[in-house]
Amino acid sequence: MRTEVLPMKGIVIFGLALLTLSVPLSSRAEFDLEQELLSIPSYHENAEYGWKVQRNPRDFDFTLAVKPGAAGEHEVAISLPGASRMEQVHVFVTDGDYETFEHFLPQETGENTYAFTHSFAKAGTYYLEIALKTAGTWVNLSKKVEIAGSAPTPSPRTTLEEQGYEIRVKPLPYSEIWTDHVVTLVFEILHHGQPVRDLEILHGAEMHVVAWRTGWFRKVGTFQYAASRQNLGGPRAAVSLVFDKPGRYRIFARFKHQNEIKTVELELDVDREPQRGQEEYPA
């Protein structure tokens, strides 16, 4: 799969031709994409688009147990006795090298207990992020687990490129990504050279994006999750995030097409906002 992160200055209008339009930072851009209306927030709408989440609250009790199951699978059980009025429960899994990714909606097995099975690709360290919405509030619970033993025989996999997909990713409104400012990742999806116009809803949205801060700076509190708010069927899906820590982030994005789930992988660098007079702002 070819995944491009294309630099740009200003706002892009996608259509039959690729055009650029500069607008003030405080404004909102709307793209009329052949009857597809895609609204892109400005840099400064972080109060609306930032993930309002409580990260590992001390008074939130939970347990996570992983035990070997059949056929190389592991059974993962989650108990959330401190939760009430559970609305959504997501589990995101990646390995210590950020090479694999899975997104689960675990099955409810009892009162505030959930479970799912997963075939870990290899032995070693894994990061599990539980994102749950309870009583209208998002809570992010982080857990690092160690998986022992030999890895199961991997199933043959084909890349998105081998399946005929091309994914173009553009950060908006600028190519620079700063902490505490909204960045909208616009994914343009083509299949066999043609724009995809029949994206399917996956877990309530057309596109889901997660981000882990990598390298020496990885620590609890840097995981990000967001989903597309506008679900227009394609060929573009937009997901807005606000990063609160600088560094390099490993990004996994998921969409569904032709009844199959596809994963896009890329990396983004996030910097602190430059001070005026020290560095040039984007034009």
Share of the chain above pLDDT 90, in %: 54
Q: Is the pLDDT of residue 15 over 50?
A: no
pLDDT digit string, tens, across residues 131-165: 998 888 899 999 999 988 765 555 667 899 999 99
pLDDT of 271 strictly over 50: yes
User: What pLDDT sits at residue 122?
Assistant: 83
Q: SS3 string of 141-160?
A: EEEEEEECCCCCCCCCCCCC
| Amino acid at site 153 | T
pLDDT tens figures, 106-117: 999 988 899 999
pLDDT reported for residue 183: 96
Domains with residue ranges and CATH for the chain: 2-51+158-270 (2.60.40.10), 53-147 (2.60.40.10)
The C-alpha atoms of residue 280 and residue 266 are separated, in whole angstroms, by 26
- Altogether, the residues listed in the chain come to a count of 283
pLDDT value of residue 83: 72
Residue 30: phi and psi, rounded to 5, are: -125, 130
Strand partners of residue 150: none
Distance CA 130, CA 95 (A): 15
What's the whole-model pTM score?
0.82
C-beta of residue 223 within 8 angstroms of C-beta of residue 212: yes
pLDDT over 60 (residue 282): no
Higher pLDDT, 49 or 71: 49
User: What average pLDDT does the structure give for the chain?
Assistant: 82
Asked if the model's pLDDT at residue 3 lies above 80, the reply is no
pLDDT of residue 213: 93
Reported confidence tier of residue 26, pLDDT bands at 50, 70, 90:
very low
